[in-house]
Amino acid sequence: MRSYVYAFIAAGLVLVPAAVSKLFTFECCVNSDADLSGFSVGENLAKFSFVPLIGWIEAKHSLFVIAVMLMLTLIVFSFIRLLECAFRCCCKGSKFWSAFTVLLAVLVGFVRSERGEDFFDRQIEVIGGTTAANLYREYVSPGFWSEEHLALQVEAASFFDNRGAEIILPTMIPVLNSTQCKRTLDSIHKLRDYWKHANVTAGPFPMFTLGHASYLHGNRTNLNFVLQKEFEWLYDIVIHSLENYLGDKVYLKEGANLPGFHLYLSSFVWGFPVARVHSDIQYSDQFQTDESHSLGSKKVISFTLPIHLPLLGSHGLFTYTANQTSPELKVRKFPKFVREMHPYKVGHLVIHGGLLIHQIAPSFMGLPGDGRITLQGHGFYDSQLKSWALYW
């Protein structure tokens, strides 16, 4: 009888996710490389399906993911069953469940402890050898970078700071109300054909841009006409807010990518620290013409305006500095630097110096409508015009 129950459970683990993935689908990106006339051949068409517990994923990979889910679930069930049998040999009745609960608690606590990390470090070396162990040690929780590499980045940012490039810490100012955020979100979904899937960076997972980001696509202005037409009112609000904060005129840089949108739709992947730790040095690639305009002598900023954030958990920006900057922020201390968490709020513009070492903080997203959707942009100060030029 129990075999039939397990068979029904296994069938459900396949059929339910498969049915859901067929119900929740969307297509996008057909015009992501449209020319000025809006025409595109449609070769960038992408189709995504929602798989429970996994999130959105390219439809062509959904059945493979469901099969992997089934296999992992059966392995976990088998492991629990083995533990159950082992404990039943030495425990009776409620004692079994008490002992089982204590074991799980001890295991969870051990994994999260320093001794636990050392233990798994040694086991990985036994299983995979020195190479696997080194990879495990290097790819630590802050952004899959080694602590040594992060320390060098923080030191480099301090070097630029000493040369005159101001390292501005994140500041948050209210910009949009809920109605304006909804209007922006509706427009973003209306322009789904112009989304661009970051398949090189994110593989089959749901990371998109609306507009072209210089760090991904270089300087490509063919979608500026779409953004300008749909979001001119939003750009006006952001420019006005930045002018009030910076105390100088602000304008959209002609011939450069307009500020655009990052779209991270619901996926279990974004709950891990997979985002790259970096500083925004796009200016040096896009506009630097000679040594007198190097990053060390330029004022640069980056800004993020959250339009939609996941329902659960905390969402924001990790920053890496030599010392703690605020007692009010969540902080993790490392030997040569500290990591602070700057929370995001929908409709609030976050401004910081582009040379500040930072990273997108992990976000838990589990529902089809979840996502982290933000307006992104950079700016540099033009000393001749005495104003700030914005681009992405």
Between the ranges 98-107, 231-240, 273-282, 287-296, where is the mean pLDDT highest?
Answer: 231-240
CA distances from 309 to 206, 348, 369, 375, 392 (A): 15, 12, 10, 12, 21
Q: What would the mean pLDDT of 199-216 be, rounded to a whole number?
A: 89
C-alpha 276/C-alpha 83 separation (Å) is 39
**190-200 b/e (C-beta count within 10 Å ≥ 16 → b):** ebbbbbbbbee
Higher pLDDT, 235 or 338: 235
Q: In whole angstroms, what is the distance from residue 286 CA to residue 79 CA?
A: 54
pLDDT of residue 119: 61
**What does the pLDDT average to over 91-98?**
54
DSSP one-letter code for 328: T
Question: Which of 66-70, 72-76, 109-113, 181-185 is the least confident region?
Answer: 109-113
Q: What letter does residue 30 receive in the DSSP assignment?
A: T
Question: Measured between alpha carbons, how far is 305 from 319 in angstroms, rounded to an integer?
Answer: 17
Local structure of 196: helix, strand or coil: strand
Name the one residue in this structure whose structure tokens are 């993911």. Answer: 65
Is the pLDDT at 38 greater than 50? The verdict is no
Residue 143's pLDDT is what?
46
Query: Phi and psi of 136, rounded to 5°?
Result: -60, -40
Average pLDDT over residues 355-361: 85
- Residue 273, CA distances (Å) to 16, 269, 332, 372 in order: 29, 9, 14, 15
Higher pLDDT, 167 or 367: 367
- For residues 386 and 153, the model is more confident at 386
User: Is 225 a residue whose pLDDT tops 80?
Assistant: yes
Q: What is the pLDDT of residues 127-176, one digit of tens each?
A: 556 665 555 554 444 444 566 766 776 776 665 544 445 567 899 999 99
Query: Which residues lie closer than 8 Å to 249 by C-beta, 6 or more apart?
Result: 243, 385, 386, 387, 388
Q: What is the pLDDT of residue 52?
A: 81
Cβ(47)–Cβ(30) under 8 Å? no
Q: Is the pLDDT of residue 124 over 60?
A: no
pLDDT digits (tens, 9 = 90+) for 281-298: 776 666 655 444 444 456
How confident is the model at residue 164, as a pLDDT?
Answer: 46
| Cα distance between residue 257 and residue 253, in whole Å | 8
Mean pLDDT computed over 329-342 = 85
Tell me the average pLDDT of the chain: 76
* pLDDT score, position 293: 44
Query: What CA–CA distances, in Å, run from 194 to 63, 94, 151?
Result: 27, 59, 39
For 205, how many CA atoms within 13 A lie in the half-sphere containing its CB?
Answer: 19
Q: Could you give the dihedral angle defined by the CA atoms of residues 106, 109, 114 and 117, in that order, rounded to the nearest 10 degrees?
A: 80
Over range 292-315, report the average pLDDT: 79
pLDDT at 257 over 90: yes
Are the CB atoms for 283 and 305 separated by under 8 Å? Answer: no
Residue 109, class by beta-carbon neighbours within 10 Å (0-12 exposed, 13-18 middle, 19+ buried)?
A: exposed
For the segment 60-81, the average pLDDT, to the nearest whole number, is 65
More confident residue, 140 or 1: 1
Q: Which residues contact 264 (CB under 8 A, 6 or more apart)?
A: 206, 207, 270, 363, 365, 371, 372, 373
Angle at which helices 114-138 and 94-112 cross, to 10°: 50
- Cα 353–chain centre separation: 19
pLDDT at residue 105 in the model: 52
Helix boundaries (H) for 24-113: 59-90, 94-112
Query: What does the pLDDT read at residue 275?
Result: 81
**pLDDT tier at 227 (50, 70, 90 boundaries)?**
very high
Are 367 and 313 within 8 A, CB to CB? no
Tokens of 208: 């998109």
Question: What is this structure's pTM?
Answer: 0.75
